[in-house]
Amino acid sequence: MKVLHISAECYPAAKAGGLGDVVGALPKYLNEAGLSTGVIIPKYRLKWFEGKAFQAVYRGVVRLHNQHIPFSIQQFTGKSLGFPFFVADIPGLFDRPGIYADPDGYSYNDETERYLSFQQAVLQWIVNSPGQPGLLHCHDHHTGLIPFMVKHCPEYQSLRNIPTVFTIHNGAYHGNFGWDKMYLMPFFDAGVRGLLDWRQSINPLASAIKCAWRVTTVSPSYLEELREDSNGMEALLQHERHKCLGIINGIDTQVWDPKTDPFLPDTWESSLEAFKKASKAAVGKKFRVDLKLPLVTFIGRLVGEKGADLLPDLIERVLQSGMQVAFAVLGTGQPWIHEAFRNLASRYPGRFDVSLEYNEGLAHQLYAGSDFLMMPSRVEPCGLNQMYAMRYGTLPIVRSVGGLKDTVPDIGAPNNTGRGIRFTTFNLEDGHIAIYRAVELFHNEPVFEAIRERITEIDFSWERSAVDYQELYQQML
C-alpha cells in the first residue's frame, strides 16, 4: 500500500457519523485513481462483521504499563469494499456492540486505554511488516498520537521518515487525558513532553497538529472557524497554519445513487417529479405525516452539536403558528430530546412523526422522499447529509457554518447558483423564518422544481476531492 488510513470508523463496517462515510469512500476512489490505499480500524462486535471472513496477517502484544494485551491484525478476505480492509482485533477492549457507547447510549469509560492499545497495535504491525505503507493518514483524536509515536517513541522510530497526514473531522473532541495516566504511554524521549501537552493534559488532537507533517480539515470554512474558536486551541492552529489546509469532503456516488439505490422501493426511472412523488408516498408508509404538505426532515444524531436541541421548540412554534408543513425526524441521541419528540408526535399526529433509531435504509428513503432537509447545526465541519439530500432532489435548510456554508449557497444568491435556504443565528426566530421561506418556495412550483432539478446535477463526488488529496500526498511522497 502507498497510503494507509487509520481510523475508528469505516463505512459500512462501523459508522457513527461522517468520519465513517469519509474513510469508507475516499480510499475506494484513490484506488480507482491508481493510488494503492488501505484502511485499518478496530474490530467491533457490530452487525456488519457477522459472517464476514477475515485472515490473520499479524499477531502481537501491546504493553499498557504492567498489562500485556494480545491482539491480531486481520484482513477482510472479501472484495466488495474497493480497498484492502484491515482490523485490529483486541479482545476485551473493542469486541463490544458499539463504537463509542453501548446500545443504551452510555459511553465506554476506558477510551484512553482503548485507543492507546489500537494505535500501538497498528504501529507494531507496520514496524514488523515487510511491505510498509509510504504514508500514514490518521483521522481524528482516536489516532492523534501516531504522528508523535513514530517520531519520538524508540519502539516505532524505524517509521519516523514515513509522512503523516492528520485530518480533523470534529475538533470539538480532543481525546485528552491527565498526566497521571502517562504510565500507559509507550516509552518516549523526556525532552519532547511538550509535544503531548495542551493545557496541562495529554491531548491527542493537539499533539497531532504539532507533530503531523500536514493537517487537513474537511472544509475550508471549518478550518477558518477552528482558528477562531476551537476550545482553546486557536493559537496552536494559527501557529501551525503553514501546514494546514481545508479539503471539502465528497460523497460516494455509487452508494448514493437515486437510480440504483437498493434501499429505495422506487428508484429514479424517468422524471425527477415522478421519483419524488413515489418516494414521498413510501415515506408515508413509515411516518404518519400529511403527504400533501411540504415535508421537512431531520436525519442524524440528536445532540446539541447538530442543533437537535433547537428542534422541539422550533417545530412546536412553527406548528402553533398555523404554517402548513409536516416534519419527520430520524435519529438517536440525548434522552430528553427523545422524550420531547415523543410528546410532539402524540400531540401533532399527521404533522410530526419520529423514528428514534439509527437506520441506514430508512435514511436513504427520507432523503429521497422529503422536500427539505433541516440542518440547524451549531458546528458542521463539512456535512454530508446536505450533499446526499441534493443528489436526491431534496433542498437543504442549513445554518451558515462550516461545510454547510461552502456547499449550500442561499436561493437568493445571484446567477441561479442557489441550492437551499441558509440562516445565520442559532435561535428560534431565524429557524422559523428559514422554514417559512421553504414553505413559500414549495408553493412557487416552477422555481421550486427548477432548483430541485439543478441540485441533482451538482458534482459532489469523491473524484473531485480525491484529486486534492492525491496532490497533497504527492507533495509529501
| Exposure letters 440-462 (e unless 16+ CB within 10 A, then b) | ebbeeeeebeebbeebbeeebbb
Q: CA-to-CA distance for 288 and 351, rounded, in angstroms?
A: 8
What are the CA-CA distances from residue 58 to residues 35, 74, 80, 89, 465 (Å)? 24, 7, 22, 10, 33
Q: CA-to-CA distance for 254 and 248, rounded, in angstroms?
A: 18
Distance between alpha carbon 305 and the CA centroid of its chain, in Å? 13
Nine-digit cell at 434?
Answer: 428559514
What are the CA-CA distances from residue 448 to residues 170, 215, 280 (Å)? 33, 40, 16
H helix runs in 105-246, sequence order: 111-127, 146-152, 204-211, 220-228, 234-239
Q: Residues with Cβ < 8 Å from 90, sequence gap 6 or more?
A: 42, 43, 62, 69, 71, 114, 117, 118, 121
CATH code for the part of the protein at 272-455: 3.40.50.2000
Secondary structure element (H or E) that encloses residue 367, with its range: helix 360-369
* pLDDT the model gives residue 380: 93
Q: What's this model's pTM, rounded to 2 decimal places?
A: 0.88
Q: CA-to-CA distance for 331 and 314, rounded, in angstroms?
A: 17
Q: CA-to-CA distance for 379 and 389, rounded, in angstroms?
A: 19
Q: CA-to-CA distance for 199 and 206, rounded, in angstroms?
A: 10
* pLDDT the model gives residue 105: 74
Nine-digit cell at 129?
Answer: 511488516
Q: CA-to-CA distance for 450 and 224, rounded, in angstroms?
A: 33
Neighbours of 115 (CB within 10 A): 23
Question: What percentage of the chain's residues is helix, strand, coil (to nearest 5)?
Answer: 40, 20, 40
**3-class DSSP state for residue 291?**
coil
* pLDDT the model gives residue 415: 85
Sequence spans of domains, the chain: 3-250+462-476, 272-455
* pLDDT the model gives residue 298: 98
What is the torsion angle, in degrees rounded to the nearest 10, for the CA atoms of residue 364, residue 365, residue 366 and residue 370? 120
* pLDDT the model gives residue 151: 96
pLDDT tens digit at each of 477 positions of the chain: 899 999 999 999 999 888 998 999 999 999 999 999 999 999 999 999 999 999 999 999 999 999 999 999 999 999 999 999 999 999 999 999 999 988 877 889 999 999 999 999 999 999 999 889 999 999 999 999 999 999 999 999 999 999 999 999 999 899 999 999 999 999 998 899 999 999 999 999 999 999 999 999 999 999 999 999 888 899 999 999 999 999 999 998 888 999 999 999 999 998 999 999 999 999 999 999 999 999 999 999 999 999 999 999 999 999 999 999 999 999 999 999 999 999 999 999 999 999 999 899 999 999 999 999 999 999 999 999 999 999 999 999 999 999 999 999 999 988 888 999 999 999 999 999 999 999 999 999 999 999 999 999 999 998 889 999 999 999 998
Asked if the domains at 3-250+462-476 and 272-455 fall in one CATH topology, the answer is yes
Residue of 66, 176, 71 lying closest to 120 (CA atoms): 71
H helix runs in 144-218, sequence order: 146-152, 204-211
Q: Residues with Cβ < 8 Å from 361, sequence gap 6 or more?
A: 263
Tell me yes or no: is domain 3-250+462-476 CATH 2.40.50.100. no
Residue of 77, 90, 4 lying closest to 45 (CA atoms): 90
| Exposure letters 90-111 (e unless 16+ CB within 10 A, then b) | beebbebebbbeeeeeeeeeee
